[in-house]
Structure 1
Amino acid sequence: MSRLLSTKVPSVRIRKLQRDHVDFVLENVDLAFANSLRRAMIADIATVAIDMVEIETNTTVLADEFIAHRLGQVPLISANCDEAMKFSRDCDCLSSCDLCSIELRLNVMCTGDETVHVTTDDLAVVLPQQSRIVDAPEEFSRRPPNFGHPYNKKSEGLQPILLAKIRKGQELKLRCIAKKGLAKEHAKWSPCAAVAFEYDPHNKLRHTTHWYETDEKAEWPLSHNAREELAPADDEPFDYTAQPERFYMDAETVGSLSPKEVVQRGLAELQKNLGSLVHALTTSNATDDVNQNGVIENPTAQSNGFPPTSTYGGPSAAANPWSGSPQANSIWGGMGGGASPTWASGTGTGVGPSSSPVWSGATNAGIGSSPTWGGATSTGVGGSSTSPAWRGPTDAESTTWGNESPAWGT
């Protein structure tokens, strides 16, 4: 992001606002923020949707699973869902209760000769028990009167959603349990049908390569957002440092939440996620010093008594674990002349049942009868080498890795 862009104040300009659609322009932000907002509106906003269906009678031509799937896609009114309802995982009940779920029932039977359309108008919400309302008055007081009802149930200007068609003698009777959830778990909880955004309608940044046969402008017509920006001149030089700063966003909701609430809650969820990330970064390893390469230089001691671990998994007291500096306690066993091994300081137990460290140790027993790495001329791992394979003397007669002098650490 350019320095000029970072000093500007983000702004939102709403171009169109309808019952289930909003079109707005987001300015003075970078591409990552605009896309994060889009993803938050799609998948990070909690809504209510039918999660379990108990079918008592189904003599229609549709299978039980087909009807249950259709019911799960029905948008339910979820206004103020964050404060008006609990997640099932946060509730104390065993399966479902009035605090974490909403019960809906459907019972339709065709008795005449005409085809009966089973729609969302036939779904009836079961009122919560009075005892529950008395025990938790705040949660229920935050629910609007139509909370949990199908979005277009008996709404003026909206047609109900068709669930099934039944003929004479056919019946559909079922019970539904609606719960609170996120679209990360299932798409039925998404409050949006689609969220899209466009930037740079004239393709001045050349983020898109247009394939064309004869005429690029004729075969790739501009969108209506091109009227918001000036078209580049034909001889205008390309600015490779330019960054997009204006985004044309278009969100279409399914009806469970209003477009205004979707945008506001999307921004709130994005702010909460970023706050959690900042908090985690500032509180973890607060007493450690991290250099510009992300390596902890002065790690704090662990409570389990073991040496502090570095970012590479092993104990660390060296400032640079990969260097050959002669500092003591190098991560990889005193590479480059480490005076003391890091895997078992002094004469304590090494990796195996050794009385001396295995790596960069002395001439005592290692994994076999002598340290395999960094030892003297005693037996190696298999007990057959007259010299260790790594960091051994240069006059080794035979090693595990060849008849020549060891390749590493000579």
Structure 2
Amino acid sequence: MEVAVVAIGTELLLGQIVDSNSARIGQMLAANGFSSHLQLKVGDNHERIVAALELALRDADAVITSGGLGPTQDDITREAIAEFARRPLREDAEVRVVIEELFAQRGRPMSANNYRQALVPDGATIIAQRKGTAPGLIVPVGEKVIFALPGVPYELDDMLAHEVLAELHARRKDATVIRSRVLRTWGLGESRLAELMAPRFEELEGSNVTIAFLASGIEGVKVRFTVNTTSEEEAAILLDREEAQARGLLGDAIFGVDDDTLESVVAQLALTQGISIAVAESLTGGMVASQLVRVPGASRWFRGGVVSYATAVKEELLGVKTAAVVSEEAACSMAEGVARLLGSELGVATTGVAGPEMMEGQAVGTVWIGMSLRGHSSARRVQLLGDRERIRTYATATALDLVRLTLSGSARGFELAETDVRR
């Protein structure tokens, strides 16, 4: 069953609000075995909404819209759907009463324009508004259907989970299972990943398995496998097979699966090996520590951090003796100093040039990452591209990845000790 999505609101086109609703709908559709090949965004314009509905429903069995069901003048989704479906609007007395009761319960005065939310296309089914004042709508269009949902995310999620998916399941004629698995990578660009995966692409051509790459900033590049089959068991077998194939091709560039993050993987390695971590940060200014404490229970393995931005702090607090703070020696000294200061087995340090100007004769984007594990220290230089914020962000992720590689015993990590690290 093919389901299209139409997100409505001029604010989406202007970039004032990110269209998270379409992503959420797409995730829920895929998780329930429904295909979705088209997502549209359209502004608050009656004619354009009608045209978007016509385009979306041309090849789909159903359309889910989000937004434009509120009480204000720019909330015109119900009017556009009514015109497209050739169904006149009428006021639903029960919806009107519910809206009045909602305002009374909240002790808030109700403006007359809120009664617009009680207008529904003739023959439509109401989706009860448990979370907000605007009801959702199920509007038949011949053998097809339009679901109109509010734009407020928690209102949309409630109606999607409780009403829309059940109606879609009741209308479907197949038993397709669509499942995906995402492998999370760091250190290789999208084009390089595609090159390494090219043999598998060719082998899967024409099959029920697809591969896609999603560049996701500090989250790395995601490699997503999607299978379309008839059972949960077969889907799991296919996804396991593809993950094994990808690991053979990509190696330790893969740091996790689905919801794994660099920081959650580092946390698990630290816990497993009984290693506590402390960080000393210059150019990243606390970003590494911030990422690490996003992991619940971080206090079990994360000792803390020092933002040693000023040279004097590097010298007085961490014991850095070199005049060149953008250097291998400085990175090692910072890592050693913070491990000693905070009593951790592993010290991690970042120093470098975030820009906008060169520093100590070093180009913008020059980053040194230092690591000290039980007195064994080393540092690595990386050259990053982009503006100041991008350099700082990517330096943070690169530092976490180097910790991950080191603790997992990868040859691409640091050679810090003869024993204790690689198990």
TM range (shorter): under 0.3
TM-score by length of 2: 0.19
Give the structure with the higher percent helix: 2
Give the structure with the higher percent strand: 2
**Bigger relative CO (Cα 8 Å, ≥ 6 apart):** 1
